[in-house]
Chain A
């Protein structure tokens, strides 16, 4: 049997997804028996020109990690789409924009200024800003930042998804085996390497079930008990609105879930679902108490949409707003 041709790519990502593949350890040897790696810039010496030279559909499976952050990310996403029979969004960035997607809240220009001019410890006396397409000496080209971070399926057709920031390596192995044995998926057909239901199903913590809390604490403000449900202790936990698959890794390290495995099946907007789970546990019996609980939630977008902002209903709405000025000037006169 011919070996499967496998590619791995990283776009706007931290590198954790590649580590998750390296973490396969000995399984990599098994993988090498059945698959040839034809492109994996993070780990092996391949160049983009190698992919450009391939014919369409040459690659069987591409595991694409990272968000679409720069013009180059977009270019490579389109290129790999055409060269691959199955394109898999691998990890939270490719699936839903992840933490890079949070920069959509203030936009790319602000992100650059913050990182290269304002951030504590930054010394940039000439005020140089990268991020705009530029040609440098020795025919080096720096790609520009896209105005908004996108998930992979928002720019090309995706065949299947592997969730997680990064995906748990056991699930990665499971996903790869599913791909190798069950045939290649077609356009968004499958979530690979997840378990049924939401994380709480796998969480070992005790839930009394009737405990409501007056306000929420952030994790650095107190040491959580290691046995009791975080929500019932007043720490925000995204477990109820997060797909199972990570085997409760954070929970076991006494850290609340922040939602990197994305929403449960059929749920469109993860942030709304986390919000629901949190509000359900408010103890307040009057408006003043409710205000106190609301005020205890610092950085609501970062709390509810940490991984999914780029694909959220909220980001969609904010983009409408940015597109609005010329359009509304037509009927500027207030009507009564």
Chain B
């Protein structure tokens, strides 16, 4: 039950005074945003409609102390679908600005920089889709510093840091590598090395690009030929991990990410496909079959396509061997 006494009109005014917050009260509470939002796939308590509604009622304490206001990644999947044309991520941003001013903080997790290793190269400050990282002075050095309230824990900076100075609790390097190698799946000669009798491929999947568990299940159904490693974002992939997998017995590596324009972390998918693009150019130059590495994009309206794409890669690797024998 909401008591009228809890309503604080100044809260509404504060939000509406922030850039992007103007549209707070135009929401119809239709819930289209909630039906669209991908965050709900992993956290059903997240409901942008409800947050907007509560903010519109002026429930300052409830809204500012909630964890929901920090969860919107500004992917803007809901924006084109909102019948009131509310830029919901901007309203969320306006609420966050008020929260930060009043001393509230994101519950995290957030990326953390090892200041003894960081060289202040500014690679991470450039790569972060949220401009959450800045360089600050530390004695005579300049080092990166993450603004935890802006960090959406996409892990992109962790993959990008050339010094390996960044860590994040979720999807850490150790976690990803141990999932790649688990149960001896890697570390044995692959099909192309004359070991395994069938091709085996490693599939890195951006967790947001796959809309349902059923889609993933079809990939799991392909059996031990395929190892799936979830990523927070296709931009989280580290080129050294791909090369390691190919060296340690994976015949192919597939990276699945969101369709252009649909990335949950704004530009992550572009980083993922850029890394794969450059790695493919390197493979070609080194005389290694490019078929062994591919980026595939999954659109919001794609259904049950991933398993087909995985099979296509398995077949193209088989054809590589057939072609080599014919030569």
- Chain A residues at the B interface, C-beta cutoff of 8 Å: 105, 196-201, 207-212, 229, 231-232, 239-241, 244, 264, 266-269, 271-282, 284-287, 290-291, 293-294, 297, 299-301, 304, 313-318, 320-321, 323-336
The answer on a CB contact under 8 Å between A331 and B117 is no
The answer on a CB contact under 8 Å between B282 and A264 is no
Q: Is B62 an interface residue (CB 8 A)?
A: no
The answer on a CB contact under 8 Å between B281 and A300 is yes
- Chain B residues at the A interface, C-beta cutoff of 8 Å: 116-127, 131, 133-135, 141-142, 159-164, 191-194, 197-198, 238-240, 243-244, 246-247, 260-261, 267, 270-271, 273-275, 277-279, 281-283, 285-289, 315, 318-319, 321-322, 324-325
Known A284-B270, A328-B321, A328-B325; contact A209-B122, beta-carbon cutoff 8 A: yes
Residue of B nearest to A208 (CB): B122
Known A284-B270, A314-B286, A335-B198; contact A275-B278, beta-carbon cutoff 8 A: yes
Partner of B119, one of A208, A240, A301, A315: A240
Shortest B160–chain A CB gap in Å is 5
| In the bound complex, CA of A336 to CA of B318 (Å) | 9
The answer on a CB contact under 8 Å between A317 and B246 is yes
Known A291-B277, A317-B247, A318-B288; contact A285-B126, beta-carbon cutoff 8 A: no
Partner of B239, one of A272, A290, A291, A320: A272
- Which residues of the partner chain B approach A208 to less than 8 Å between Cβ atoms? 122
The answer on a CB contact under 8 Å between B260 and A207 is no
Chain A interface helix/strand/loop/mixed: helix
| In the bound complex, CA of A231 to CA of B126 (Å) | 10
Shortest B120–chain A CB gap in Å is 6
The answer on a CB contact under 8 Å between B282 and A281 is no
Residue of A nearest to B195 (CB): A327
| In the bound complex, CA of A314 to CA of B280 (Å) | 11
Known A241-B162, A287-B273; contact A331-B260, beta-carbon cutoff 8 A: no
Partner of A210, one of B125, B164, B240, B243: B125
Residue of B nearest to A331 (CB): B197
The answer on a CB contact under 8 Å between B119 and A314 is no
Shortest A188–chain B CB gap in Å is 19
- Which residues of the partner chain A approach B279 to less than 8 Å between Cβ atoms? 275
| In the bound complex, CA of A78 to CA of B128 (Å) | 48
The answer on a CB contact under 8 Å between B192 and A198 is no
Partner of B120, one of A207, A287, A299, A333: A207
- Which residues of the partner chain A approach B160 to less than 8 Å between Cβ atoms? 276-277, 279-280
Known A210-B131, A313-B243, A332-B325; contact A240-B126, beta-carbon cutoff 8 A: no
